[in-house]
Structure formats: C-alpha cells, structure tokens
Amino acid sequence: MSQKSESDGIEIRPAGIRRMLSMGRLREQPTTPEQVAAVWQKAVQSAHDAEIVEMSIDGALRSAYDAGHLAALALLAAHGLRPGGGGGHHEMAFAGTAALGIEALVDLVPDSEEIRGLRKGSMYDPVIAGPDERELAIQWVRRTLPAVRAALALADPKLPSLLESYP
C-alpha cells in the first residue's frame, strides 16, 4: 500500500507501482471516494449478474471476470491510479492491484489469468464451458471482492460507508 513519509507527507509507493508508473503501464489519476464507490458498485453488480441462475454459462463467466476487473480498477482508483492506455490494460489492472502489496491479494494475477482464460475461451473458442467452470469463476469472485473491499476500506476512511458489501 502507499504510505506517507513521516518527515514530509510525501506519498511513498511500492517499488512495483513506481516501476509501472515509470513505464507508463499505470498512470496517476486522482479520484474522489464517490467515484471509487461507483466503480465498486459496478463490480458488485457484475458479481451478482454472474450468480443469476438463468444466465448462460458464457455470460456468467464474462460477468465474473468483469466483477474482478472492476474491483481491481476501484482499488487502483482509491490509490489515485489507473492502467495506462494501450494493450494489456486489463492485465495491468490486476498486476497494479497486486503490486500494492496487500496480503489477501497476492495471488490476484494468476487467479485472474485463470478466470480470464475461461472468459476468453467462452468468447472465442468453440469449446463450451460447463457448470464446473462457472462455479470456479463464481468462487473466485466470492474470494476476491471481499478482499478488495477490505483493502478499499483501508485505503480511504471515507470509503466504508459508501461501499456495498459482497456477497
């Protein structure tokens, strides 16, 4: 997580975040707690969509992935960050979130890649995903979103009252 230096109040970012900023993979973008909460709300809605029993498996996989991606974007925004432009911005959202150094999110990149693979397969491959893949994606969301919400609450004391719980 970002920290303030006691001597001068300047924010100190983790080395991975500084490296991503210097490479243009992340960019600084100030946001308000209300803006962060709005992105979080989209993540929660996508998570709920993924759990709709009547939704197709492909739709559920896309919604589960979107929920995790939006949650990562919300956490980056709470730290005044967003992915840089160009290709790989989804991956950078997850990598940037993991680089914040939050213990509960250390496996976010490999876990998100697995879910992204399911989503990509459901969109572009003729192989039809089944109920097991859907359940895997939903379980990922059920682990990831509460961890992100806890990190959001730590990032800004104004956020907890603005954030809907999930599940």
* Lowest-confidence region among 67-71, 127-131, 157-161: 127-131
The mean pLDDT value for 4-12 works out to 49
The per-residue pLDDT for 113 is 85
Q: 109 in a domain, yes or no?
A: yes
Based on the structure, what is the number of domains in the chain? 1
In this model, does residue 88 exceed pLDDT 90?
A: no
In degrees, rounded to 5, the angle at the alpha carbon of residue 86 between the alpha carbons of residues 68 and 139 is: 10
Query: In the predicted model, what is the mean pLDDT of the chain?
Result: 89
Alpha-carbon span 141 to 123, nearest angstrom: 19
Instruction: List the domain range (segments joined by +) for residue 27.
Output: 3-162
Model pLDDT for residues 45-85, shown as the tens digit of each residue: 999 999 999 999 989 999 999 999 999 999 999 999 999 97
Confidence of residue 87 (pLDDT cuts 50, 70, 90): confident
Bridge-partner residues for 12, per DSSP?
A: 3
CATH number of the domain that residue 92 is part of: 1.20.120
In this model, does residue 4 exceed pLDDT 80?
A: no
More confident residue, 120 or 159: 159
Which of 32-36, 90-94, 128-132 is modeled with the greatest confidence?
A: 32-36
The mean pLDDT value for 155-163 works out to 96
Q: 44 in a domain, yes or no?
A: yes
Q: 167 in a domain, yes or no?
A: no
- Sign, CA torsion 148/30/23/10: negative
Alpha-carbon span 92 to 6, nearest angstrom: 30
Alpha-carbon span 148 to 137, nearest angstrom: 16
Confidence of residue 11 (pLDDT cuts 50, 70, 90): low
Alpha-carbon span 149 to 144, nearest angstrom: 9
